[in-house]
Amino acid sequence: GRMKVVVTRDLGPDAMPLLRERKELDLVVWSENRACERAWLLEQIPGAAGVLLMLADKVNEELLDKGFLKVVSTMSVGYEHVDLPLLAKRGVRLGYTPDVLTDAVADVTVMLALMASRNAKETAGVIDRGEWPNSTWSPFIFCGPQLSRTPPIQTRTAGFLGFGRIAQATLRRLVPFGFTHCVYVANPSTVPNPVQDAAYTKQFNLQSVRRVDIDTLASASDVVFVLAPGGDKTRHLVNEAFLRKMKKTAVLVNTARGTLVDSDALAKALKEGWIWAAGLDVVEGEPNVTVDHPLVKEPRCVMLPHIGSATFDTRLSMAACAARNTLAGVFGETMQAELELKGTA
Ligand code: GLV
Ligand code: GLV
Protein backbone atom coordinates (compact mmCIF):
# COMPACT_ATOMS: atom_id res chain seq x y z
CA GLY A 1 0.00 0.00 0.00
CA ARG A 2 0.87 3.65 -0.09
CA MET A 3 2.90 5.21 2.72
CA LYS A 4 2.54 8.80 3.87
CA VAL A 5 5.74 10.51 4.95
CA VAL A 6 5.87 13.99 6.49
CA VAL A 7 9.02 16.09 6.11
CA THR A 8 9.43 19.34 8.08
CA ARG A 9 12.02 21.03 5.83
CA ASP A 10 13.17 21.04 2.22
CA LEU A 11 16.18 18.70 2.47
CA GLY A 12 18.03 19.80 -0.63
CA PRO A 13 19.35 18.18 -3.80
CA ASP A 14 20.64 14.87 -2.40
CA ALA A 15 17.92 13.81 -0.01
CA MET A 16 14.71 14.97 -1.73
CA PRO A 17 15.21 12.77 -4.83
CA LEU A 18 15.82 9.74 -2.59
CA LEU A 19 12.32 10.26 -1.22
CA ARG A 20 10.64 11.41 -4.46
CA GLU A 21 11.85 8.43 -6.49
CA ARG A 22 9.90 6.07 -4.23
CA LYS A 23 6.58 6.09 -6.05
CA GLU A 24 4.76 4.27 -3.25
CA LEU A 25 5.29 7.27 -0.93
CA ASP A 26 2.85 10.10 -0.43
CA LEU A 27 5.26 12.86 0.46
CA VAL A 28 4.11 15.90 2.41
CA VAL A 29 6.78 18.59 2.74
CA TRP A 30 6.88 21.85 4.70
CA SER A 31 8.78 23.69 2.01
CA GLU A 32 8.83 27.21 3.42
CA ASN A 33 12.22 28.56 4.41
CA ARG A 34 11.38 28.90 8.09
CA ALA A 35 10.71 26.52 10.97
CA CYS A 36 7.77 24.26 10.39
CA GLU A 37 4.64 25.36 12.23
CA ARG A 38 3.61 23.01 14.99
CA ALA A 39 -0.06 23.12 14.03
CA TRP A 40 0.80 22.13 10.45
CA LEU A 41 2.92 19.21 11.64
CA LEU A 42 0.24 17.93 14.02
CA GLU A 43 -2.33 18.19 11.23
CA GLN A 44 -0.22 16.04 8.90
CA ILE A 45 0.61 13.19 11.32
CA PRO A 46 -2.71 11.27 11.06
CA GLY A 47 -2.22 8.52 8.49
CA ALA A 48 1.55 9.02 8.29
CA ALA A 49 3.93 6.07 8.59
CA GLY A 50 7.01 8.23 8.97
CA VAL A 51 8.09 11.72 9.89
CA LEU A 52 11.44 13.32 9.10
CA LEU A 53 12.02 16.30 11.37
CA MET A 54 14.50 18.74 12.91
CA LEU A 55 15.86 19.55 16.40
CA ALA A 56 13.17 22.21 16.87
CA ASP A 57 10.32 19.74 16.31
CA LYS A 58 9.37 18.17 19.64
CA VAL A 59 8.45 14.49 19.53
CA ASN A 60 6.14 14.05 22.49
CA GLU A 61 2.77 12.59 23.40
CA GLU A 62 0.93 15.40 21.61
CA LEU A 63 2.55 14.38 18.34
CA LEU A 64 2.60 10.61 18.78
CA ASP A 65 -1.07 10.55 19.81
CA LYS A 66 -2.07 11.91 16.40
CA GLY A 67 -1.31 8.74 14.51
CA PHE A 68 0.49 5.43 14.20
CA LEU A 69 4.02 6.25 13.14
CA LYS A 70 6.52 3.52 12.35
CA VAL A 71 9.49 5.82 12.32
CA VAL A 72 10.72 9.20 13.50
CA SER A 73 13.83 10.32 11.65
CA THR A 74 15.66 13.35 13.00
CA MET A 75 18.19 15.32 10.96
CA SER A 76 20.54 15.69 13.95
CA VAL A 77 22.88 13.65 16.07
CA GLY A 78 21.18 14.91 19.24
CA TYR A 79 17.78 13.64 20.33
CA GLU A 80 16.79 15.67 23.42
CA HIS A 81 13.69 16.76 21.50
CA VAL A 82 12.50 13.17 21.36
CA ASP A 83 10.72 11.37 24.21
CA LEU A 84 12.67 8.10 23.98
CA PRO A 85 10.70 6.07 26.57
CA LEU A 86 7.46 7.00 24.84
CA LEU A 87 8.85 5.94 21.45
CA ALA A 88 10.01 2.65 22.93
CA LYS A 89 6.58 2.08 24.49
CA ARG A 90 4.79 2.74 21.20
CA GLY A 91 7.25 0.65 19.17
CA VAL A 92 8.29 3.60 16.99
CA ARG A 93 11.84 3.42 15.57
CA LEU A 94 14.20 6.40 15.78
CA GLY A 95 16.72 7.33 13.10
CA TYR A 96 19.40 10.00 13.67
CA THR A 97 22.57 11.26 11.94
CA PRO A 98 25.78 10.47 13.83
CA ASP A 99 29.18 10.00 12.12
CA VAL A 100 28.50 12.17 9.06
CA LEU A 101 28.86 15.35 11.16
CA THR A 102 31.81 14.30 13.33
CA ASP A 103 34.53 16.05 11.31
CA ALA A 104 32.60 19.29 10.82
CA VAL A 105 31.86 19.62 14.54
CA ALA A 106 35.43 18.69 15.53
CA ASP A 107 36.70 21.43 13.18
CA VAL A 108 34.53 24.08 14.85
CA THR A 109 35.54 22.76 18.27
CA VAL A 110 39.23 23.36 17.53
CA MET A 111 38.40 26.69 15.88
CA LEU A 112 36.65 27.87 19.04
CA ALA A 113 39.60 26.77 21.21
CA LEU A 114 41.87 28.91 19.03
CA MET A 115 39.46 31.84 18.84
CA ALA A 116 38.93 31.87 22.61
CA SER A 117 42.65 31.54 23.44
CA ARG A 118 43.68 34.26 21.05
CA ASN A 119 40.97 36.83 21.83
CA ALA A 120 39.31 36.56 18.43
CA LYS A 121 36.11 38.28 19.53
CA GLU A 122 37.81 41.28 21.07
CA THR A 123 40.47 41.64 18.37
CA ALA A 124 38.24 41.16 15.32
CA GLY A 125 35.96 43.69 16.99
CA VAL A 126 38.80 46.22 16.97
CA ILE A 127 38.74 46.17 13.18
CA ASP A 128 34.94 46.11 12.93
CA ARG A 129 34.67 49.19 15.11
CA GLY A 130 37.44 51.07 13.27
CA GLU A 131 39.62 51.13 16.38
CA TRP A 132 42.83 49.77 14.86
CA PRO A 133 44.39 53.20 14.33
CA ASN A 134 44.00 53.90 18.09
CA SER A 135 45.28 50.51 19.26
CA THR A 136 48.92 51.45 19.53
CA TRP A 137 51.12 48.39 19.28
CA SER A 138 52.67 47.37 22.56
CA PRO A 139 54.49 44.17 23.48
CA PHE A 140 51.57 42.47 25.22
CA ILE A 141 48.52 44.03 23.61
CA PHE A 142 45.87 41.46 22.58
CA CYS A 143 47.96 38.56 23.94
CA GLY A 144 46.46 35.29 25.06
CA PRO A 145 47.69 31.83 26.03
CA GLN A 146 49.13 29.72 23.23
CA LEU A 147 47.22 26.60 22.23
CA SER A 148 50.06 24.81 20.48
CA ARG A 149 53.39 23.90 21.99
CA THR A 150 56.20 21.74 20.73
CA PRO A 151 56.87 19.03 23.30
CA PRO A 152 58.91 18.36 25.37
CA ILE A 153 59.16 22.09 26.14
CA GLN A 154 55.83 22.05 27.86
CA THR A 155 53.15 19.51 28.59
CA ARG A 156 49.60 20.32 27.53
CA THR A 157 46.45 18.59 28.70
CA ALA A 158 43.23 18.41 26.75
CA GLY A 159 40.17 17.64 28.88
CA PHE A 160 36.97 16.13 27.54
CA LEU A 161 33.63 16.08 29.26
CA GLY A 162 32.23 13.24 27.17
CA PHE A 163 34.55 11.09 25.08
CA GLY A 164 32.52 9.93 22.09
CA ARG A 165 33.05 10.28 18.35
CA ILE A 166 33.32 14.08 18.22
CA ALA A 167 35.59 14.29 21.27
CA GLN A 168 37.96 11.72 19.83
CA ALA A 169 38.00 13.45 16.43
CA THR A 170 38.84 16.69 18.26
CA LEU A 171 41.67 15.00 20.15
CA ARG A 172 43.12 13.66 16.88
CA ARG A 173 43.33 17.27 15.64
CA LEU A 174 45.05 18.40 18.84
CA VAL A 175 47.91 15.88 18.72
CA PRO A 176 49.81 17.91 16.07
CA PHE A 177 49.30 21.00 18.28
CA GLY A 178 51.61 19.40 20.82
CA PHE A 179 49.08 18.23 23.39
CA THR A 180 50.77 15.57 25.48
CA HIS A 181 48.03 14.42 27.84
CA CYS A 182 44.32 13.83 27.76
CA VAL A 183 41.87 13.44 30.60
CA TYR A 184 38.23 12.60 30.07
CA VAL A 185 34.98 11.94 31.84
CA ALA A 186 32.80 9.39 30.08
CA ASN A 187 29.30 8.85 31.49
CA PRO A 188 28.81 9.73 35.13
CA SER A 189 30.99 6.68 35.91
CA THR A 190 34.51 7.44 37.11
CA VAL A 191 35.68 3.85 37.47
CA PRO A 192 39.30 3.80 36.28
CA ASN A 193 39.76 1.90 33.07
CA PRO A 194 43.50 1.25 32.71
CA VAL A 195 43.24 -1.25 29.86
CA GLN A 196 41.08 1.04 27.73
CA ASP A 197 43.24 4.06 28.65
CA ALA A 198 46.45 2.26 27.65
CA ALA A 199 44.83 1.53 24.29
CA TYR A 200 43.76 5.18 23.88
CA THR A 201 47.25 6.40 24.86
CA LYS A 202 48.73 4.30 22.08
CA GLN A 203 45.98 5.12 19.57
CA PHE A 204 46.36 8.90 19.98
CA ASN A 205 50.13 8.76 20.41
CA LEU A 206 50.08 10.78 23.65
CA GLN A 207 52.03 10.47 26.90
CA SER A 208 48.81 9.57 28.69
CA VAL A 209 45.06 9.32 28.27
CA ARG A 210 43.18 8.88 31.55
CA ARG A 211 39.58 8.52 32.61
CA VAL A 212 39.19 10.78 35.64
CA ASP A 213 36.53 12.21 37.92
CA ILE A 214 34.98 15.55 37.08
CA ASP A 215 37.06 17.52 39.64
CA THR A 216 40.31 16.23 38.16
CA LEU A 217 39.03 17.10 34.68
CA ALA A 218 38.44 20.68 35.80
CA SER A 219 41.79 21.16 37.51
CA ALA A 220 44.10 19.28 35.12
CA SER A 221 42.97 20.65 31.75
CA ASP A 222 44.44 23.50 29.70
CA VAL A 223 41.31 23.33 27.57
CA VAL A 224 38.04 21.74 28.65
CA PHE A 225 35.94 20.50 25.74
CA VAL A 226 32.29 19.90 26.53
CA LEU A 227 31.15 17.11 24.22
CA ALA A 228 28.54 15.09 26.10
CA PRO A 229 24.86 14.66 25.26
CA GLY A 230 22.36 17.15 26.69
CA GLY A 231 19.34 16.28 28.81
CA ASP A 232 18.60 16.17 32.54
CA LYS A 233 21.49 13.87 33.48
CA THR A 234 24.17 16.27 32.24
CA ARG A 235 22.53 19.59 33.12
CA HIS A 236 24.99 22.12 34.57
CA LEU A 237 27.87 19.65 34.93
CA VAL A 238 29.95 22.75 34.32
CA ASN A 239 28.82 24.87 37.27
CA GLU A 240 30.42 27.35 39.64
CA ALA A 241 32.34 24.65 41.55
CA PHE A 242 33.74 23.24 38.31
CA LEU A 243 34.76 26.64 36.94
CA ARG A 244 36.47 27.61 40.20
CA LYS A 245 38.65 24.49 39.97
CA MET A 246 39.84 25.29 36.42
CA LYS A 247 43.23 26.87 35.70
CA LYS A 248 43.16 30.66 35.35
CA THR A 249 44.78 30.27 31.92
CA ALA A 250 42.35 27.57 30.77
CA VAL A 251 39.72 27.81 28.07
CA LEU A 252 36.26 26.26 28.06
CA VAL A 253 34.75 25.14 24.75
CA ASN A 254 31.16 23.91 24.40
CA THR A 255 30.07 22.49 21.06
CA ALA A 256 27.55 20.04 22.52
CA ARG A 257 24.49 21.44 24.27
CA GLY A 258 23.95 24.68 26.14
CA THR A 259 22.32 22.92 29.07
CA LEU A 260 25.64 21.37 30.15
CA VAL A 261 27.04 24.76 31.20
CA ASP A 262 25.55 27.09 33.82
CA SER A 263 25.58 30.40 31.90
CA ASP A 264 25.41 32.60 35.00
CA ALA A 265 28.35 30.81 36.60
CA LEU A 266 30.34 31.08 33.36
CA ALA A 267 29.66 34.82 33.07
CA LYS A 268 30.89 35.23 36.65
CA ALA A 269 33.97 33.09 35.98
CA LEU A 270 34.92 35.25 32.99
CA LYS A 271 34.21 38.53 34.73
CA GLU A 272 36.25 37.55 37.80
CA GLY A 273 39.05 35.85 35.87
CA TRP A 274 38.67 32.30 37.19
CA ILE A 275 39.36 31.10 33.63
CA TRP A 276 40.86 32.75 30.57
CA ALA A 277 38.08 32.55 28.01
CA ALA A 278 35.21 30.53 26.58
CA GLY A 279 34.18 29.46 23.10
CA LEU A 280 30.55 28.46 22.70
CA ASP A 281 28.64 27.12 19.74
CA VAL A 282 25.65 26.42 21.98
CA VAL A 283 24.12 28.16 24.98
CA GLU A 284 21.20 27.65 27.33
CA GLY A 285 18.02 29.19 26.00
CA GLU A 286 19.23 29.42 22.39
CA PRO A 287 18.25 30.82 19.97
CA ASN A 288 16.71 33.47 22.23
CA VAL A 289 20.00 35.22 22.86
CA THR A 290 20.19 38.99 22.48
CA VAL A 291 22.95 41.57 22.95
CA ASP A 292 21.82 41.95 26.58
CA HIS A 293 22.82 38.37 27.39
CA PRO A 294 25.54 38.35 30.08
CA LEU A 295 27.77 36.07 27.97
CA VAL A 296 27.36 38.16 24.82
CA LYS A 297 28.63 41.12 26.80
CA GLU A 298 31.78 39.25 27.91
CA PRO A 299 34.72 40.15 25.63
CA ARG A 300 36.35 36.79 26.39
CA CYS A 301 33.31 34.75 25.42
CA VAL A 302 33.21 34.05 21.70
CA MET A 303 29.83 32.70 20.65
CA LEU A 304 28.58 31.11 17.45
CA PRO A 305 24.93 30.41 16.62
CA HIS A 306 25.07 26.58 16.66
CA ILE A 307 26.99 26.07 13.40
CA GLY A 308 29.00 22.98 14.37
CA SER A 309 27.71 20.82 11.53
CA ALA A 310 27.14 23.68 9.07
CA THR A 311 29.22 22.71 6.05
CA PHE A 312 27.62 21.96 2.69
CA ASP A 313 29.06 18.41 2.61
CA THR A 314 27.93 17.57 6.10
CA ARG A 315 24.42 19.00 5.87
CA LEU A 316 23.85 17.21 2.54
CA SER A 317 25.05 13.97 4.17
CA MET A 318 22.87 14.50 7.24
CA ALA A 319 19.82 15.13 5.05
CA ALA A 320 20.51 12.03 2.95
CA CYS A 321 21.09 9.92 6.06
CA ALA A 322 17.80 11.16 7.53
CA ALA A 323 15.99 10.36 4.25
CA ARG A 324 17.46 6.82 4.12
CA ASN A 325 16.56 6.27 7.78
CA THR A 326 12.98 7.33 7.01
CA LEU A 327 12.69 4.94 4.07
CA ALA A 328 14.19 2.07 6.09
CA GLY A 329 11.75 2.84 8.87
CA VAL A 330 8.60 2.83 6.76
CA PHE A 331 9.64 -0.25 4.75
CA GLY A 332 10.98 -2.20 7.74
CA GLU A 333 14.59 -2.30 6.59
CA THR A 334 17.96 -1.62 8.23
CA MET A 335 18.67 2.06 8.84
CA GLN A 336 21.91 3.88 8.13
CA ALA A 337 21.82 4.97 11.80
CA GLU A 338 19.17 3.83 14.26
CA LEU A 339 19.16 4.67 17.95
CA GLU A 340 18.76 1.63 20.19
CA LEU A 341 15.66 2.33 22.29
CA LYS A 342 15.78 -0.83 24.39
CA GLY A 343 16.20 0.02 28.05
CA THR A 344 14.77 3.54 27.75
CA ALA A 345 11.12 2.57 28.38
C1 GLV B 1 23.20 19.38 16.31
O2 GLV B 1 23.29 19.96 17.33
C3 GLV B 1 22.78 18.02 16.18
O4 GLV B 1 22.30 17.44 17.17
O5 GLV B 1 22.88 17.48 15.07
C1 GLV C 1 55.24 39.86 13.50
O2 GLV C 1 54.55 40.26 12.59
C3 GLV C 1 56.68 39.93 13.55
O4 GLV C 1 57.28 40.42 12.56
O5 GLV C 1 57.24 39.50 14.57
Domain spans of the chain, in order of start: 3-100+312-331, 102-303
Q: 14: exposed, middle or buried (C-beta count within 10 Å: 0-12, 13-18, 19+)?
A: middle
Which residue has the CA at smallest separation from atom 1 of ligand 1?
76
Q: How far is the CA of 106 from the centre of ligand 1 (A)?
A: 13
Which residue has the CA at smallest separation from atom 4 of ligand 1?
78
pLDDT above 70: residue 28: yes
Range from 50-54, 134-138, 265-269, 318-322 carrying the lowest mean pLDDT:
134-138
For ligand 1, whether the C-beta of 77 sits within 6 Å is: yes
Query: What average pLDDT does range 300-322 have in this prediction?
Result: 98
Fold of 3-100+312-331: Rossmann fold (3.40.50)
Domain 102-303, CATH class in plain words: alpha beta
Q: How far is the CA of 77 from the centre of ligand 1 (A)?
A: 5
The whole-model pTM stands at 0.95
Q: Given the CA of residue 101, which atom of ligand 1 is nearest to it?
A: 5
Range from 123-137, 157-171, 253-267, 276-290 carrying the lowest mean pLDDT:
123-137
The three-state (H, E, C) secondary structure of 116-161, written as one string: HHCCHHHHHHHHHCCCHHHCCCCCCCCCCCCCCCCCCCCCCEEEEE
User: What is the best residue among 53, 281, 309, 317 to mutate for testing ligand 1's pocket, by most ligand atoms within 8 Å of CB?
Assistant: 309
Query: What average pLDDT does range 262-268 have in this prediction?
Result: 98
Query: What average pLDDT does range 72-101 have in this prediction?
Result: 97
The reply to whether domains 3-100+312-331 and 102-303 share a CATH topology is yes
Kindly report, residue by residue over 245-261, the tens digit of the pLDDT.
999 999 999 999 999 99
Kindly report, residue by residue over 157-211, the tens digit of the pLDDT.
999 999 999 999 999 999 999 999 999 999 766 778 899 999 999 999 999 999 9
pLDDT of residue 262: 98
pLDDT of residue 313: 97
**Residues marked as catalytic:** 306
